[in-house]
């Protein structure tokens, strides 16, 4: 259409296909819902909100609560309806977007949508971080570099020294390293110290995974005040609805439910890995996240076999280097048992 910018002809839908299944292990969601007691408290809070009034301009009350929880200056916190919108805002602001391949598809999607020059550097052997290639990319076209740690979709955990080296090169080139910590709680890692000491490093986090709030759609950026101001300016005003804010405040006031959940998920992840290693044909990769990447002889066939048994996983074989791969979210013990029965059935 002549109404649209020419580069938008290359924009594609987010690569997700919906299937109905009894056991849903395809989107790395929490296997447990937000605690019932907190849900009831959040509903009461929502009922007390004036629905005829706009929410706060930039979710100032939620920002303050996140700042207290994370030990971060409030002026460096940006809240959005899902961390994807922060990826889009940073891509729109970026002179270029640098990424690894494979990786979370929306880094590229946001760059394409915003018409920002994009470059991906392939992962190394065993999905190692291509540090030398990323350093060279920052030299060639300084911009915003997205590095998820743990990495999606592989589950690989990168070395802190490599992230520090990328951060120093970002500082030298006046670029920005964004460490996407969507899954950091499952690994016990923390990029905040790196970002505190380097204004050219920012940390992206989400409420979707360890907080059990995937359906609420909320994420946040921890950055220098200068970076935060740019990201905030590119988000729509009043973008955190009043009901979302009420739920987030309730969670942030009572975060104690998260640690026991993380322990349960880590234990189930390790159990799944140990059992899947016994499979005669499938090869699971070690994971520091709440999902496991599994290489099969035929991803389409493996996906269909599991789906026929009522188990939904995510195909990943469309990514370079992930031929034959499916991704399995860690579910409840019962869901994981069902997955294992289906995987080992003849």
Per-residue model confidence as pLDDT tens digits over 283-308: 999 999 999 999 999 999 999 999 99
Q: Of 255, 278, 296, at which residue does a domain stop?
A: 255
Q: Residues with Cβ < 8 Å from 96, sequence gap 6 or more?
A: 116, 117, 118, 119, 141, 142, 143, 144
Q: Is residue 1 part of a domain?
A: no
Please indicate, yes or no, whether residues 50 and 106 belong to a single structural domain of this protein.
yes
pLDDT (0 to 100) of residue 13: 79
Please indicate, yes or no, whether residues 226 and 284 belong to a single structural domain of this protein.
no
Does an H or E element contain 284, and which?
A: strand 283-284
Q: Is the pLDDT of residue 14 over 80?
A: no
Please indicate, yes or no, whether residues 195 and 311 belong to a single structural domain of this protein.
no
Q: What is the pLDDT of residues 60-114, one digit of tens each?
A: 999 999 999 999 999 999 999 999 999 999 999 999 999 999 999 999 999 999 9
* H helix runs in 27-120, sequence order: 36-47, 60-70, 83-93, 105-114
Please indicate, yes or no, whether residues 324 and 230 belong to a single structural domain of this protein.
no
Contact (Cβ atoms closer than 8 angstroms) between residue 235 and residue 89: yes
Provide the pLDDT confidence category of residue 337 given band limits of 50, 70 and 90: very high
Query: CATH code at 237?
Result: 3.40.640.10
Q: Of 227, 255, 283, at which residue does a domain stop?
A: 255
Distance in angstroms (rounded) separating the CA atoms of residues 100 and 90: 16
Predicted TM-score of the model (pTM): 0.96
Please indicate, yes or no, whether residues 118 and 220 belong to a single structural domain of this protein.
yes
Please indicate, yes or no, whether residues 214 and 171 belong to a single structural domain of this protein.
yes
Q: Which residues of 140-157 are buried (b: 16+ CB within 10 A; e: fewer)?
A: ebbbbbbbbbbbbbbbbb
Please indicate, yes or no, whether residues 126 and 223 belong to a single structural domain of this protein.
yes
Q: Which sign does the torsion angle of CA 19, 24, 29, 35 carry?
A: positive
Q: Is residue 332 part of a domain?
A: yes
Q: Is residue 102 part of a domain?
A: yes
Q: Residues with Cβ < 8 Å from 264, sequence gap 6 or more?
A: 32
Expressed as residue numbers, the domain containing 250 is: 36-255
Does an H or E element contain 204, and which?
A: strand 201-206
Q: What is the pLDDT of residues 232-248, one digit of tens each?
A: 999 999 999 999 999 99
Q: Residues with Cβ < 8 Å from 87, sequence gap 6 or more?
A: 106, 107, 110, 146, 180, 204
Q: What is the pLDDT of residues 256-284, one digit of tens each?
A: 999 999 999 999 999 999 999 999 999 99
Q: In what order do the strands lie in the sheet with 314-315?
A: 283-284, 291-295, 325-329, 314-315
β-pairing, 201-206 vs 219-222, is antiparallel
Please indicate, yes or no, whether residues 179 and 268 belong to a single structural domain of this protein.
no
Please indicate, yes or no, whether residues 228 and 191 belong to a single structural domain of this protein.
yes
**How many domains is the chain built from?**
2
Task: Write the burial class of residue 101 (CB in 10 Å: 0-12 exposed, 13-18 middle, 19+ buried).
Answer: middle
Q: Residues with Cβ < 8 Å from 54, sequence gap 6 or more?
A: 238
Q: What is the average pLDDT value for the chain, to the nearest integer? A: 96
Q: Of 214, 231, 255, at which residue does a domain stop?
A: 255
Output DSSP code: residue 32. Answer: S
Q: Residues with Cβ < 8 Å from 304, sequence gap 6 or more?
A: none
């Amino acid at each position: 259409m002549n109404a649209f910018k020419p580069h938008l002809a290359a924009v594609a839908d987010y690569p997700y296909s919906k299937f109905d299944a009894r056991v849903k292990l395809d989107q790395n969601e929490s296997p447990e819902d937000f605690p019932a007691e907190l849900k009831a408290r959040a509903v009461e809070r929502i009922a007390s909100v004036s629905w005829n009034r706009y929410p706060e301009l930039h979710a100032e009350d939620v920002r303050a609560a996140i700042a207290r929880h994370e030990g971060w200056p409030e002026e460096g916190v940006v809240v959005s309806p899902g961390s994807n919108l922060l990826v889009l805002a940073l891509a729109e602001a970026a002179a270029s977007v640098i990424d690894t391949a494979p990786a979370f598809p929306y880094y590229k999607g946001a760059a394409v949508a915003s018409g920002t020059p994009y470059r991906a550097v392939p992962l190394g052997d065993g999905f190692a971080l291509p540090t030398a290639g990323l350093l060279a990319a920052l030299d060639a076209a300084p911009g915003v570099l997205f590095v998820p740690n743990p990495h999606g979709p592989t589950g690989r955990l990168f070395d802190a020294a490599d992230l520090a080296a990328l951060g120093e090169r970002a500082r030298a080139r006046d670029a920005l390293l964004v460490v996407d910590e969507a899954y950091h709680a499952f690994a016990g890692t923390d990029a905040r110290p790196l970002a505190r000491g380097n204004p050219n490093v920012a940390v992206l986090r989400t409420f979707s995974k360890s907080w059990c709030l995937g359906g609420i759609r909320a994420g946040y950026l921890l950055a220098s005040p200068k970076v935060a101001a740019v990201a905030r300016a590119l988000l729509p005003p009043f973008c955190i609805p009043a009901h979302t804010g009420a739920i987030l405040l309730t969670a942030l006031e009572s975060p104690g439910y998260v640690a026991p959940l993380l322990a349960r998920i880590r234990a189930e992840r390790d159990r799944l890995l140990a059992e899947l290693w016994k499979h005669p044909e499938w090869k699971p990769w070690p994971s520091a996240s709440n999902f496991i990447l599994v290489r099969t002889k035929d991803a389409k066939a493996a996906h269909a076999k599991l789906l026929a048994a009522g188990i939904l996983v995510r195909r990943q074989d469309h990514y370079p280097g992930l031929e034959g791969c499916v991704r399995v979210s860690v579910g409840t013990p019962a869901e994981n048992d069902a997955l294992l029965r289906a995987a080992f059935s003849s």
